């Protein structure tokens, strides 16, 4: 038999009289002493945020909670009328949509920024790097993540606020600067309005906070999970999913069978 690798984890464990989470005594060192955003930071990174990190990280998460009647929110509501006894399944259904199109952008731009600056020292020529990124995407006909927005023009109103919160706390550094250079370069090259959107701002600031790009999608997932619970709570108070379903079902039937 193959030798077995021991199972190790630093997340948490319990004994009869104690509960340890990320190295802290949960009841005595965390409850009442850390807010949820800080706890999420601790849970993901393994260390408590300092107050400046906590302020920035909370702002990023708050941005991600509620984006209106998204496809994910509608999906969660539809599932909640099918399985009202299993709210977790409704939230899970909507969360399945935190993928590449509607919410994955933070991960994508963080990957671009981290790959570009990996191993580069403080004196790196950000404009040259931005130009290379824009031209590489143009060559591959790939959209650049984190810039442009179908609705919010000429700017995404969340972006300057997030950057201001980051700056105030000392987390507006070269990742943000590189993304600004990318946005400006792309606007010039493509002759279009391509402002940094909230997803881009969040991705860049997560880089400033030291989050590896591979876990950035997790931050969107956390925000949206809260938002989906909110939508299901509203669906319980004021149902609309059944109406959305009936309209679609009826229209499909009419369009299929009442052809002249």
CA distances from 82 to 78, 240, 241, 245 (A): 7, 13, 10, 11
**What's the CA gap between 200 and 210, in Å, rounded?**
15
Do residues 183 and 147 make contact, with C-beta atoms less than 8 angstroms apart? Answer: yes
Rounded least distance, CB 146 to a copy of itself, Å: 17
Exactly one of 146, 148, 200, 227 binds a copy of itself (CB under 8 A); that residue is 227
Q: Please identify, using beta-carbon distances, which residue of 100 and 138 lies nearer to a copy of itself.
A: 100
- Residue from 130, 162, 182, 207 touching a copy of itself (CB under 8 A): that is 162
Identify which of residues 3 and 121 has a Cβ nearer to a copy of itself in the complex.
3
| Contacts (CB under 8 A) with a copy of itself, residues 240-259 | 240-253, 255-257
| Residue span binding a copy of itself (CB under 8 A) among the ranges 135-143, 159-167, 171-179, 189-197 | 159-167
# residues near a copy of itself by CB under 8 A: 124
Q: Please tell me whether residue 157 binds a copy of itself under the rule CB under 8 A.
A: yes
Tokens of 51: 């107050």
Task: Please count the other Cβ atoms lying within 10 Å of the Cβ belonging to residue 251.
Answer: 10
Give the CA distances from residue 5 to residues 2, 8, 9, 13, 77, in Å, rounded to whole numbers and listed in that order: 9, 9, 13, 20, 43
Task: Specify the stretch interacting with a copy of itself by CB under 8 A; choose among 117-125, 131-139, 149-157, 182-190.
Answer: 149-157
Q: Which is nearer to a copy of itself, 83 or 120 (CB)?
A: 83
Cβ 164 vs Cβ 197: under 8 Å: no
| DSSP element (H, E) containing 167 | helix 158-168
Asked if residue 142 binds a copy of itself (CB under 8 A), the reply is no
Cβ-contact 142, 171 below 8 angstroms: no
Q: Which is nearer to a copy of itself, 122 or 151 (CB)?
A: 151
Q: Does 106 bind a copy of itself (CB under 8 A)?
A: no
> According to CB under 8 A, which residues from 76 to 105 bind a copy of itself?
78-79, 81-103
118 contacts a copy of itself (rule: CB under 8 A): no
59 binding a copy of itself? (CB under 8 A): yes
The reply to whether 191 sits near a copy of itself by the rule CB under 8 A is no
Residue 189 found at the interface with a copy of itself (CB under 8 A): no
Residue range at the interface with a copy of itself (CB under 8 A); choices 112-120, 136-144, 148-156, 176-184 = 148-156
Interaction between residue 52 and a copy of itself (CB under 8 A): no
In three state form, how does the secondary structure of 200-214 look? HHHHHHHHHCCCCHH
Q: Which helix (H) or strand (E) holds 24?
A: strand 24-25
62 touches a copy of itself by CB under 8 A: yes
The DSSP letter of residue 26 is I
Contacts of 50 (CB under 8 A, 6+ apart): none
> In which residue are the tokens 């999913």 written?
241
């Amino acid at each position: 038999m193959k030798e077995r690798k021991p199972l190790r984890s630093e997340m948490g464990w319990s004994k009869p009289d104690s509960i340890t989470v990320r190295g802290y005594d949960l009841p005595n060192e965390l409850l009442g002493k850390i807010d949820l955003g800080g706890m999420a930071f601790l849970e993901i990174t393994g260390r408590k945020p300092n107050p400046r990190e906590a302020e920035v990280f909370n702002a990023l998460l708050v941005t991600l909670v509620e984006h209106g009647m998204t496809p994910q929110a509608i999906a969660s509501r539809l599932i909640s009328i099918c399985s009202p006894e299993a709210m977790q399944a409704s939230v899970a259904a909507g969360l399945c949509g935190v993928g590449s199109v509607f919410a994955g952008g933070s991960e994508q731009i963080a990957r671009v920024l981290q790959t570009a600056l990996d191993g580069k020292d403080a004196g790196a020529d950000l404009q040259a790097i931005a130009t290379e990124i824009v031209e590489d995407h143009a060559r591959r006909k790939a959209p650049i993540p984190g810039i442009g927005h179908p609705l919010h023009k000429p700017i995404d109103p969340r972006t300057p606020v997030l950057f201001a919160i980051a700056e105030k706390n000392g987390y507006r550094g070269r990742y943000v600067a590189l993304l600004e250079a990318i946005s400006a370069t792309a606007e010039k090259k493509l002759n279009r309005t391509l402002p940094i959107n909230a997803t881009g701002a969040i991705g860049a600031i997560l880089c400033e906070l030291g989050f590896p790009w591979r876990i950035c999608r997790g931050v969107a997932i956390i925000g949206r999970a809260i938002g989906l619970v909110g939508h299901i709570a509203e669906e319980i108070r004021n149902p609309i999913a059944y109406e959305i379903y009936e309209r679609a079902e009826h229209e499909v039937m009419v369009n299929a069978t009442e052809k002249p």
